[in-house]
């Protein structure tokens, strides 16, 4: 393929990746909340962007097709992901009952390190334990990219990765502009209520086909 077709693949990858990433989901809700609290934003953005980049590469270069050939693996992933989302929804619901305003002040080094580890582990779990990542990002992007030759496919993967990086950076760092709105405990209670409800809906959506 020539340069124009590679450029077309890059644009195609960017738009396809953006449509899948820019949606209300557990990962996005978490990044938004960390951005609003201004806690571990660089690490969260880096973890989510790098994870998505790896998953995009896996999908584009064939893992998506392999997952499609093993329905039991997809079934197990849906139930595991649903369980995790429900646990996260429960944790968020507890915050609704005990809301906090925008945090202020400095924490000691030990508690800060522990908080950072918990936040980054949560970001990893919300990414890698989310079956939608494998069913959508890996499988769907892999399918869309499959008609391209290797050179154009690399361009497609680059475009999708760029969309992911830009989105998570905008979500994490752009959230601070909403900080004045979330200066009260009531605002956090509303946000956490929406997040908890979103997690429950996503969990039910993952397993509803197995309940019919």
Nearest to 36 by CA among 101, 106, 85, 95: 101
- Percent of the chain past pLDDT 70, that is, above it, reads 78
* Mean pLDDT score of the chain: 79
Note whether 97 and 90 are within 8 A (CB).
no
Task: Indicate the DSSP class of residue 102.
Answer: S
Confidence tier at 106 by pLDDT (50, 70, 90):
very low
- State pLDDT tens for residues 133-189: 777 778 778 877 877 888 888 999 999 999 999 999 998 998 888 778 766 778 778
- As a whole number of angstroms, the distance between CA 116 and CA 1 comes to 45
Contacts of 74 (CB under 8 A, 6+ apart): 67, 68, 131, 134, 135
- With a cut of 50, say whether residue 212 has pLDDT above it: no
Q: Virtual CA dihedral for 65, 200, 102, 129, nearest 10 degrees?
A: -30
Residue-level pLDDT at 124: 93
Alpha helices in 23-180 (DSSP H): 26-37, 41-60, 63-68, 71-97, 109-128, 131-132, 139-145, 150-174
- With a cut of 90, say whether residue 43 has pLDDT above it: yes
Buried b (16+ CB within 10 A) or exposed e, 57-93: bbbbeebbeebbeeeeeeeebbeebbebbbebbeebb
Confidence tier at 67 by pLDDT (50, 70, 90):
low
Residue-level pLDDT at 108: 46
- As a whole number of angstroms, the distance between CA 81 and CA 117 comes to 21
- State pLDDT tens for residues 179-190: 787 667 787 788
- As a whole number of angstroms, the distance between CA 89 and CA 99 comes to 15
- With a cut of 60, say whether residue 109 has pLDDT above it: no
């Amino acid at each position: 393929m020539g340069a124009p077709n590679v450029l077309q693949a890059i644009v195609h990858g960017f738009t396809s990746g953006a449509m899948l990433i820019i949606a209300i989901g557990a990962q996005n809700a978490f990044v938004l909340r960390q951005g609003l609290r201004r806690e571990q934003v660089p690490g969260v953005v880096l973890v989510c962007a790098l994870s998505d980049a790896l998953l995009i590469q896996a999908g584009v270069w064939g893992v998506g097709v392999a997952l499609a050939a093993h329905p039991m693996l997809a079934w197990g992933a849906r139930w595991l992901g649903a369980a995790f989302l429900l646990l996260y929804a429960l944790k968020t619901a507890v915050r609704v009952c005990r809301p906090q305003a925008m945090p202020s002040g400095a924490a000691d080094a030990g508690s800060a390190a522990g908080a950072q580890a918990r936040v980054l582990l949560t970001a990893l779990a919300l990414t890698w334990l989310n079956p939608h990542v494998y069913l959508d990002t890996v499988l769907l992007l892999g399918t869309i990219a499959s008609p391209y030759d290797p050179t154009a496919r690399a361009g497609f993967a680059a475009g999708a990765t760029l969309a992911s990086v830009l989105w998570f950076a905008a979500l994490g760092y752009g959230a601070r502009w909403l900080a004045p709105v979330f200066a009260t405990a009531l605002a956090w209670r509303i946000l956490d209520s929406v997040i908890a409800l979103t997690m429950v809906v996503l969990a039910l959506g993952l397993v509803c086909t197995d309940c019919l």
